Amino acid sequence: MVDYSWNVIIFQIIFPSMGVTLLMVLCATVLACLLGFCLAIALFWVGKHGLSPNEKCYATLNIVVSFIRSFPFIILAISILPITRFITGSVIGWESALFPLTVAATPFMGRIFENCFKEVSLDLIDAARSFGATNLQIVFKILIPATLPSIVNGGVLSVIQILSLTTIAGTLGAGGIGASALIYGYQSFNDKIMYTLVIVLFVLVLAIQLLGDYVYKRIK
Amino acid sequence: MITIENLHKRYHDTEVLNSINITIDDGDIYGLIGRSGAGKSTLLRCINGLETFQGGSIVIDGVDIATLHDKSLRELRKNIGMIFQGFSLIDRKTVYENIAIPLECWHIPKPEQKERIEKLLKIVGLESKRDQKARDLSGGQKQRVAIARAMVMNPKILLCDEATSALDPKTTDEILELLLELNKEYGITIIMVTHQMSVIHRMCTKMSILENGHCMVSGDVKEVFLEQPQALQNLVGILECNLPETGINIEVLITDEAVGQQFHSDLSLSLKKPYKLINSSLTHYREGVLSAFVINVSQEDYQDFLDYFDANHLNYKRIERE
Amino acid sequence: MKKIVMLLAGVACSMLLFSGCSDDKSKTSATVEKKSITIATTALAMPEVELGIEDLKKRGYEVNIKVLQDATTMCKAIENGEIDVALHPHKPWMDSYNSGNKTDIAMLTPYIHKNTFGLFSKKYTKADEIPDGAKIIIPQDESNMARSLFMMEQLNFIKLKAGVTSPTDLDIESNAKNVKIFKIHVHQVIASLDDADAAFSATLFAVSNKLDPKYQIATSQDADKFGVGFIIANKNKDTKWAKDILASYTTEKVREGINVIYKGSSIPGF
Ligand SMILES: Nc1ncnc2c1ncn2[C@@H]1O[C@H](COP(=O)(O)OP(=O)(O)OP(=O)(O)O)[C@@H](O)[C@H]1O
Ligand SMILES: [Mg+2]
């Protein structure tokens, strides 16, 4: 075990990995949000009380979502390595980690957003139909505005989920705070680095949560 | 005009609506009443195409709605407003924003939106609540917003599904008053689904009683109440008073308010025969008052009473103990 | 509230039971008549451990095998007395574990096998061909990372700070070739080889990933330092049963077995 000075810990470990973590979380969140949103709308669209119910479609989507969600992230990431390489041209580096992160986080977000949409009373949707709204208008003028606060809450949950996934992505060469905590802390038996980085992660989670709560209050 | 002919609706194997025939004229306030599960909501939702049906037809102003799809169906719905028991507003949006949703969907220009919404806010009496969030309103106020939203596309028909069931009596009164006003002012046709008889009395010109998916009675509200068909009795349980075991029980129904008021004194003065008053009720409905009396007379006097009622053109009926 | 109290009580009870249990074990393990031995290993090294079981049974022991995930878990289990010995970590790893955790776990000698370690590349056939600015993958756990860094220094890619015994990439003093280093989980290093210019890995993982041996372009000279032996609680290292284990695993049969199983990625250590 090497005992690194605070100077090294802060400038050579925390700062660079913080940058990678933030980039990874940000990009993966944006991607997973967009895709998860589309997925949620698809799920809701063909769902039992949805806009255009279709049992078979729903069952298929449902199985795919549950299937992906049943994978432990590390195994998912390894199983889709060939696809990752095909899409990102490589399997190492944080840019490549975005793909498995997005694949793992999308079904998670999809489910969360779908549950948000399910909160909307069926009467409200009927009311929208009754004044002649199209299905798309129901999504964008009713579902989303009515559930925006829950969507924000779900989003915060997902961001934190992605943050914890980046730790595992780190073991596949993506880097980041979680990975540094594992490499320089856990695997090197260096508790000082490990717990310092855990505190950094904690501050990050706290910041995300507080920001989310603030936005939630504002738009509620 | 809405013509419903031989309408059949099934969910899987259960027949929810069975040969329904109803005609609703422009400007009518039409009541649909029945027990829970009778199929009232389903019928209402068939009218604006929220539900499809398996047989028969619904023709609105000459258009068979079964032939409509997507665009044309939405055009139809634009002309049919609908309000629900649960108000169904977006709670986190303001009154103004809620009413604006249909206008947004139909791409009405902003200035016109503003004009229409403000006019409606005046009509429903919510000008001062314009920018308040829907969740901060009382039930009655929420229903007013829902009504304004239903009216904002200037529909010709308004469908109300238990629109007052969640409200207290006084607020119910105010909402019904508002609907009556809309009917009078704009000649809008209103179809009211309800299980509250008082709503029918108060509002409707015509009514139908649904029972297990069948339309048992249709007609003028006044006539239905005079005829007291079995379906109505099933619904209101008018005979829930205890009838005496001896003698004969007669129910008399009087639609003329003055005649009703004088009924007892006239009867005793002219016949000079004893009778017991078992039950009496006064019902205010849209076009007057219905007085209903149940009296008990002896076997010997029965014929004299009947003669008196016939001579005075009173509507009566012998009723038996269960 | 009641529930919480009961829960706490339950936890406390089970902890008492548990600690009682492990006390018992350590007592018996100190006695001479130990009759049952629990050996832990990974799924990968299972065939190797199986080589000596028969012999150990002949010596009158009942043998239990436990498959565990990683070396840290094995060390914790040894400390708790849940297992007697484990075969998986190599000596430098064991040393850094002991110094990092202030523990006292011994490794029996002679070693059972030694891991060979090398540089792999699908793009280059010699280490000198690797160009400036190359992308190089190294395993991210401490001992393999250290071994990679030492080998890199040997190959004159980098220079490490003087006197560091177990370096990480933070201890690189100068990077003459300006190589870009990616730290990846040991199991994934070979799978990621296509995306880099070269990778350092234990030959073991190249074999388990079915990588053609021709892609190993350099071999580390330090195999002797990276011996893998049975690890054991220090107090037990001189017991009779520890000696019996060693005897059962340093036979000709085991030697041949190791050569067959590892196809040269690990060589017998005795
Ligand atoms: N989606 C559906 N699937 C199956 N059956 C349904 C469905 N919707 C309604 N029904 C059935 O159709 C019948 C009529 O329902 P409907 O909602 O029209 O009754 P209602 O008269 O409006 O009752 P309420 O006064 O309780 O609102 C009921 O027996 C109900 O169970
Ligand atoms: Mg209903």
For residues B99 and B208, membership in a common domain is answered with yes
For residues B158 and B280, membership in a common domain is answered with no
For residues B186 and B284, membership in a common domain is answered with no
**B262 belongs to a structural domain:** yes
Closest residue in B to A121 (Cα) is B88
Looking at residue A103, what is its pLDDT? 94
Looking at residue A174, what is its pLDDT? 85
Nearest CA to ligand 1 atom 18: B39
Query: Which of A126, A131, A145 lies nearest to residue B105, judging by beta carbons?
Result: A131
Q: In what order do the strands lie in the sheet with B189-194?
A: B63-64, B55-60, B2-11, B14-24, B214-220, B206-211, B29-34, B189-194, B157-161, B80-84
For residues B268 and B199, membership in a common domain is answered with no
Nearest to B14 by CA among B47, B38, B35, B33: B38
Dump pLDDT digits (tens) for B222-236. Answer: 888 877 788 887 776
Q: By the 8 A CB rule, do B216 and B184 touch? A: no
Of the residues B190, B206, B235, which one is the last residue of a structural domain?
A: B235
Q: Cis ω on the peptide bond leading into residue C110 (within 30° of 0)?
A: yes
For residues B137 and B260, membership in a common domain is answered with no
Q: What is the DSSP letter of A91?
A: S
How far is residue C253's CA from residue C258's CA, in Å, rounded to a whole number?
Answer: 9
Looking at residue C16, what is its pLDDT? 39
Which residues have beta carbons under 5 A from ligand 2 (an ion)?
B 41
For residues B125 and B255, membership in a common domain is answered with no
Contact A130 B88 (CB under 8 A): no
Give, for B240, the enclosing helix (H) or strand (E). Answer: none
Indicate where chain C has its CATH 3.40.190.10 domain(s).
36-115+225-268, 117-219
Q: What is the pLDDT along chain C (270 residues), one digit of tens a residue?
A: 444 444 444 444 444 344 444 444 444 444 457 889 999 998 888 899 999 999 999 999 999 999 988 888 999 999 988 999 999 998 888 988 898 888 999 999 899 999 899 999 999 999 999 999 999 999 988 888 989 999 999 999 999 998 888 888 999 999 989 999 999 988 889 989 999 999 999 998 898 888 998 999 999 888 888 899 999 999 999 999 999 999 999 999 999 999 998 888 889 998
* In the predicted structure, residue B187 carries a pLDDT above the cut 60: yes
Provide residues of A within 8 Å CB-CB of chain B.
121, 123-124, 126-134, 137, 141-142, 145-146, 148-149, 219-220
For residue B43, report the distance from its CA to the centre of ligand 1, in Å.
10
For residues B46 and B152, membership in a common domain is answered with yes
- Mark B190-201 as b/e (b = at least 16 C-beta within 10 Å): bbbbbbbbbbbb
Name beta bridge partners: B189.
B157
For residues B310 and B225, membership in a common domain is answered with no
For residues B267 and B137, membership in a common domain is answered with no
Give, for B118, the enclosing helix (H) or strand (E). Answer: helix B110-124
DSSP per-residue letters across C47-79: HHHHHHHHHHHHTT-EEEEEE-S-HHHHHHHHH
The pLDDT of B305-319, averaged and rounded, is 89
Mean pLDDT of the residues in chain B: 89
Nearest CA to ligand 1 atom 5: B11
Looking at residue B107, what is its pLDDT? 94
Dump pLDDT digits (tens) for A126-173. Answer: 999 999 999 999 999 999 999 999 999 999 999 999 999 998 888 788
Low-confidence ranges of chain A (pLDDT < 70): 1-2
DSSP per-residue letters across B57-84: EEEETTEEGGG--HHHHHHHHHTEEEEE
Of the residues B178, B213, B235, which one is the last residue of a structural domain?
A: B235
- Indicate the Cα dihedral angle B225, B227, B231, B232, nearest 10°: 20
Nearest CA to ligand 1 atom 17: B41
Give how far B139 is from chain A: nearest CA, Å.
16
Looking at residue C32, what is its pLDDT? 54
SS3 A173: helix
For residues B253 and B310, membership in a common domain is answered with yes
Please state the CATH superfamily assignment of the domain spanning residues C117-219 in this structure: Periplasmic binding protein-like II (3.40.190.10)
Neighbours of chain A (3+ CB pairs under 8 A): B, C
**B143 belongs to a structural domain:** yes
**B261 belongs to a structural domain:** yes
Nearest CA to ligand 1 atom 4: B11
Name beta bridge partners: C227.
C114
Query: Which of A137, A219, A220 lies nearest to residue B105, judging by beta carbons?
Result: A137
Q: Provide the 10 A C-beta neighbour count for residue B177.
A: 12
The CATH number of the domain where B99 resides is what?
3.40.50.300
Looking at residue C75, what is its pLDDT? 92
Could you tell me the end-to-end alpha-carbon distance of chain C, in angstroms, rounded to an integer?
61
Looking at residue B85, what is its pLDDT? 86
Task: Report how far apart, in Å, the C-alpha atoms of B46 and of each of A130, B34, B35 are.
Answer: 11, 17, 18
Contact A171 C140 (CB under 8 A): yes
Q: Which class for C162: exposed (0-12), middle (13-18), buried (19 or more C-beta within 10 A)?
A: exposed
Domains and their CATH numbers in chain A: 8-219 (1.10.3720.10)
Dump pLDDT digits (tens) for B38-63. Answer: 899 999 999 988 898 998 999 999 89
Closest residue in B to A132 (Cα) is B74
Domain C36-115+225-268 classified CATH 3.40.50.300? no
Could you tell me the end-to-end alpha-carbon distance of chain A, in angstroms, rounded to an integer?
51
Q: By the 8 A CB rule, do C80 and C22 touch? A: yes
Contact C96 A188 (CB under 8 A): yes
For residues B217 and B255, membership in a common domain is answered with no
Q: Is the ipTM of this complex over 0.85?
A: no
For residues B190 and B287, membership in a common domain is answered with no
Of the residues B235, B261, B280, which one is the last residue of a structural domain?
A: B235
What's the whole-model pTM score?
A: 0.79
Looking at residue C186, what is its pLDDT? 87
How far is residue B21's CA from residue B214's CA, in Å, rounded to a whole number?
Answer: 9
B267: containing domain: 248-319
Best of B8, B12, B13, B16 for a ligand 1 pocket test (most atoms within 8 Å of beta carbon): B16
The CATH number of the domain where B313 resides is what?
3.30.70.120
Looking at residue C4, what is its pLDDT? 45
Beta pairing class for C180-184 and C135-139: parallel
Phi and psi at B199, nearest 5°, equal -65, -45
The pLDDT of B59-80, averaged and rounded, is 89
**B147 belongs to a structural domain:** yes
Q: Which chain C residues contact residue A184 at CB under 8 A?
A: 168, 170
How far is residue A197's CA from residue A180's CA, in Å, rounded to a whole number?
Answer: 8
How far is residue C39's CA from residue C232's CA, in Å, rounded to a whole number?
Answer: 10
Torsion sign, CA atoms A189, A193, A195, A197: negative
How far is residue B31's CA from residue B201's CA, in Å, rounded to a whole number?
Answer: 9
| High-pLDDT (> 90) share of chain A, % | 66
Q: Based on the structure, what is the number of domains in chain B? A: 2
Looking at residue B169, what is its pLDDT? 86
Q: Which class for B150: exposed (0-12), middle (13-18), buried (19 or more C-beta within 10 A)?
A: buried
